[in-house]
Amino acid sequence: MKTSESFSISNLMKKSSQNKEVSSPDKEEGGPNKEAGGPNEEVGSPDKEADSPDKEAGSPDKEEGDSDKEADGPDYEAGGPDYEAGWNKAFSHVYVETGVLEHPKTQRILSKLAGSKVIEIGHYKDVFNRSGQNFKIQKNSPKLVIARRTKDFCPLGSPMCDSFGNSRFYASSQMMNCMLDCDYCYLQGMYSSANVVAFANIEDTFAEAERLLPAYICVSYDTDLLAFEGLTGFVSDWLRFCESHPGALIEIRTKAGSFSALGSRRPQENVILAWSLAPDPLIKRFERRAPSLGYRLQQMRKALEAGWRVRLRFEPVIQASNWRELYKEAALQAKIALGPYWGNLEDAGASAFRAPEGHFKRMRKMNKSSEVYAWPMVEADEETGGVVHKVARYSNDEEVTRTVERFLGL
């Protein structure tokens, strides 16, 4: 297995000593003191906590009289995360900018959503940025918006993200938001809407990417592009781009993606498929609607067997009750599941939970009952490439990251 020098984000960033404690939700709420770095049974019953946000937010699915199984999302274990059956239900309404109505990508997407109501709009921000939206409630019934991206096709990669040693690091978001609902998702701090946006004009993204080459481009940070592949075909578009542009190296990160979405495509040297993993008990608590660890490992193994470059990430590592035991067990499960292919991994690693400070407060406010936010966080000024940025992170985040890395044998 190739090892990345950037297993620990903390190793990449020079930190200022100006750390101050971010007000702990526990302290604010008068809860019991939680020791930083230690599992604490007093945090409360994880199962009860996992149940409560749904009950609080209300479940439109249940209100509509559907089964619990449907309300939980696609049945991954029964054949994979195939949204085809659920798209019409999930995307009951599709808002389309007039300017992309005739775009072939729009036509492709609409052809898959025969039962959805299509509403023509002037600009996606009229829907996506409107005031008074509730991100959590919208997650229960997201709508799709098809638009034209006019700028920021391939911005520089965030200093919060791992460049894996690539100096020309960019990120590209052909879509915004995804169908999962993770308690720790930074997108809920970034966007006022949980609706999903697909930018039809990927040809303009490619024109910009071409100008930037050679470049390392992460194309699935603000969404789960592989999970949407049956609907959008954006992954196939990127693979074709990489075929004709050897100067490109792309990472496609996924939780819910199915390897079969790539069809019979042959592995490409300049494409890395990356899976974000978590222990099953934490998936159930914090990654609602996401497939199990076993399912994700199965997809990784298929990709490795087929000869693809595959990255394994425990990211973000969440401190929760018994987190050390849970991640130790999950790392072992990964080694067993990948078996002889473990050594073929491109790299493996972990990163403790952290978020841009500006987004963190909003994220925590929206997930007050989640154990994700029960551990003390600190505010820190960090520097990457000469740029100082504020992050909220665990006071012991290096130890958290290193602990899981050790479980992975790093």
What is the binding site for ligand SF4 (CB under 6 A)?
A: 178, 180-182, 185, 187, 223-224, 255
Cβ proximity to ligand SF4, 180 vs 272, nearer residue: 180
The full 3-state SS of 44-92, as one line of letters, equals CCHHHHHHHHHHHHCCHHHHCCCCHHHHCCCCHHHCCCCCHHHHHHHCC
Cβ proximity to ligand SF4, 159 vs 316, nearer residue: 316
Cβ proximity to ligand SF4, 49 vs 315, nearer residue: 315
Q: Residue 288 and residue 194: Cα distance in Å, rounded?
A: 14
DSSP string, 194-224: -SEEEES-HHHHHHHHHHH-SEEEE--SSS-
Please state the closest distance from residue 367 (CB atom) to ligand SF4, in A: 12
Please state the closest distance from residue 102 (CB atom) to ligand SF4, in A: 29
Please state the closest distance from residue 368 (CB atom) to ligand SF4, in A: 18
Cβ proximity to ligand SF4, 40 vs 223, nearer residue: 223
Please state the closest distance from residue 255 (CB atom) to ligand SF4, in A: 5
Cβ proximity to ligand SF4, 214 vs 294, nearer residue: 294
Please state the closest distance from residue 191 (CB atom) to ligand SF4, in A: 10
What is the greatest pairwise CA distance in the chain?
A: 58
**Between the CA of residue 401 and those of 18, 149, 183, 335, what are the distances in Å?**
21, 36, 19, 18
Q: At what angle do helices 397-407 and 323-338 cross, to 10 degrees?
A: 30
- For 298, the enclosing helix (H) or strand (E) is helix 293-305
Task: Indicate if the alpha-carbon torsion angle 24, 27, 30, 31 is positive or negative.
Answer: positive
Q: Residue 305 and residue 340: Cα distance in Å, rounded?
A: 10
Please state the closest distance from residue 167 (CB atom) to ligand SF4, in A: 26
Task: Copy the structure tokens of residue 191.
Answer: 């966007």
Cβ proximity to ligand SF4, 277 vs 304, nearer residue: 277
Please state the closest distance from residue 185 (CB atom) to ligand SF4, in A: 3
Q: Output phi, psi for 270, to 5 deg.
A: -105, 30
What length is written for the chain? 410
Cβ proximity to ligand SF4, 223 vs 268, nearer residue: 223
> What secondary structure letter does DSSP report for 243?
H
Ramachandran category for residue 339: left, alpha or beta (phi over 0 → left; psi -120 to 50 → alpha):
left
Please state the closest distance from residue 187 (CB atom) to ligand SF4, in A: 5
Cβ proximity to ligand SF4, 146 vs 372, nearer residue: 372
Cβ proximity to ligand SF4, 217 vs 355, nearer residue: 355
Measured torsion, CA atoms of residues 222, 228, 229, 232, in degrees rounded to the nearest 10: -90
Please state the closest distance from residue 332 (CB atom) to ligand SF4, in A: 24
Q: Residue 211 and residue 53: Cα distance in Å, rounded?
A: 45
